[in-house]
Chains A and B, each alone.
Chain A
Amino acid sequence: MSSMPFKTPEPDSTRGQASIGKAVKINGQIYSKEDLFVDGDVEGTIELAEHRLTIGPNGKVHSSVKAREVVVLGNIQGNVDASDKLEIRKDARLVGDIKTARIIIEDGAYFKGSIDIVKPEPAKSSSSAAAAASRPPVAPAAPVTTQGVPVAAEVKR
């Protein structure tokens, strides 16, 4: 796990990012065609098909979330579908089931739920070498040295 501190994202109106402030509460469905920063309370659903959703440190989301990329610094209670990447930062809290291609979780984050890693479909034009590169890495072989000492036999019933 990287020890580099993450930079806390700030709302950035110059980059085409909508923002929901910490004093705002929304009940209902949110659909956005630009990046969204949520620092308030949302109950309902949030969908940003090809964009990034950031839940700020004050953000409380009780809804299912769907976006290309999701960054959580606050609190989500609901399922998360991040087609590209999900980041759960230190002190964030996520209770729900996750479906994503990549996940980054910092120490100190609280997560309860299931994780489904869904690898993106390789492009049709890609070569077989590129397809091979997209396969999940095989767990590295460990040295055969063993310090653990088995002391008791298996007990079968």
Chain B
Amino acid sequence: MITDRLRSMLRRPGAPPSPGLPVAPANHARAKASSVFDKEIVTSRPSRGLEQFFAYVRGQEGLTILDLAGASQDNINFITNLGHRLYSEDFLRTLDDSFRKDEDQDDAGKIDQFLRQNLSFREEQFDGVLVWDVLQYLSPALLTATLDRLRAIVRPQSYLLAYFHSNEKSRQVPYYSFRIKDQKSLLLAQRGLRTPVQIFNNRSLEKLFQKFESVKFFLTKEQLREVIVRR
């Protein structure tokens, strides 16, 4: 077990997971949501990451924020009431629609098509991106391309808020719809379970965001790592 833990700590974010690691689905299809929940389970929790993200954009009006969780009434109300313009993308829904076969997420043509469909914005268009937990469901190739694209469409000095599950023993993790309750707390609507393609620790997250200026982590009780990334 200690060996596994060590191996996981040393694993490069882009590298395929080593055999024997707890979260290592060979099959991307297994990363898709399971529909075990007929009803949403909604819980409220404080979010230091969210608080930090909005601390940076507070006091300014007319910013342009991209939300990758799809449209929700709470997020629309919160962000537009701050005087910002909101762009909405249902990233995971399109991910599931776009990549149906196991190997698709490694296909350069399909990755390019997916990004043109989802992140087709002009360079430095956004003042912040609410990425939520979508990055952990991407294959290494798709993840790298997505981060490059995100880096291109946000302005320098602006921020990304991303979440990563930190429990390396879990094969499946709760799959949430993230709704902003207020500046410091979230409503997490659990919609089922998904299997992350990759699990990240602090070191691999630093490496993942190495092209960005800074990375700041918060580890919560729910084994959710909140990450604030500065472009």
Cβ-defined contact, B221 with A114, below 8 A:
no
B48 touches A139 (CB 8 A): no
B88 within 8 A of A: yes
B83 to chain A, nearest CB (A): 7
How many angstroms between the C-alpha atoms of A39 and B182 in the bound complex?
Answer: 38
Q: How far is the CA of A104 from the CA of B40 in the complex (A)?
A: 20
List residues of chain B with CB within 8 A of the CB of A23: none
Interface residues in B, total, Cβ within 8 A:
44
**Quick check: is B143 within 8 A (CB to CB) of the other chain?**
no
Contact B87 A152 (CB under 8 A): no
Query: Judging by beta carbons under 8 Å apart, are B76 and A156 in contact?
Result: no
Instruction: For the complex formed, measure the closest distance between the CB of B63 and the CB atoms of chain A, giving whole angstroms.
Output: 12
Main DSSP-derived SS at the B contact region: mixed
Q: Across the interface, do B73 and A150 meet the contact criterion of CB distance under 8 Å?
A: no
Bitwise, A93-135 to B at CB < 8 A (1) or not (0) is 0000000000111110111111111000000000000000000
Minimum CB–CB distance from B179 to chain A (whole Å) comes to 8
Q: Is A112's CB under 8 angstroms from B88's CB?
A: yes
Q: How far is the CB of A131 from chain B (nearest CB, A)?
A: 16
What mask results when residues 132 to 157 of chain A are scored 1 for a CB within 8 Å of chain B, else 0? 00001111111101111111111111
| B80 engages A117 (CB within 8 Å) | yes
B139-164 CB mask vs A (1 if < 8 Å, else 0) is: 00000000000000000000000000
Q: A114-B87, A150-B218 are in contact. Are A109 and B182 (CB under 8 A)?
A: no
List chain A positions with a Cβ less than 8 A from chain B.
1, 88, 103-107, 109-117, 136-143, 145-157
Give 25 CB contacts A-B under 8 Å: A104-B73, A106-B73, A110-B71, A112-B88, A112-B89, A114-B88, A115-B85, A136-B82, A139-B78, A139-B182, A140-B182, A142-B46, A142-B181, A142-B185, A147-B220, A148-B46, A148-B47, A148-B218, A152-B217, A152-B219, A153-B216, A155-B206, A156-B214, A157-B210, A157-B214
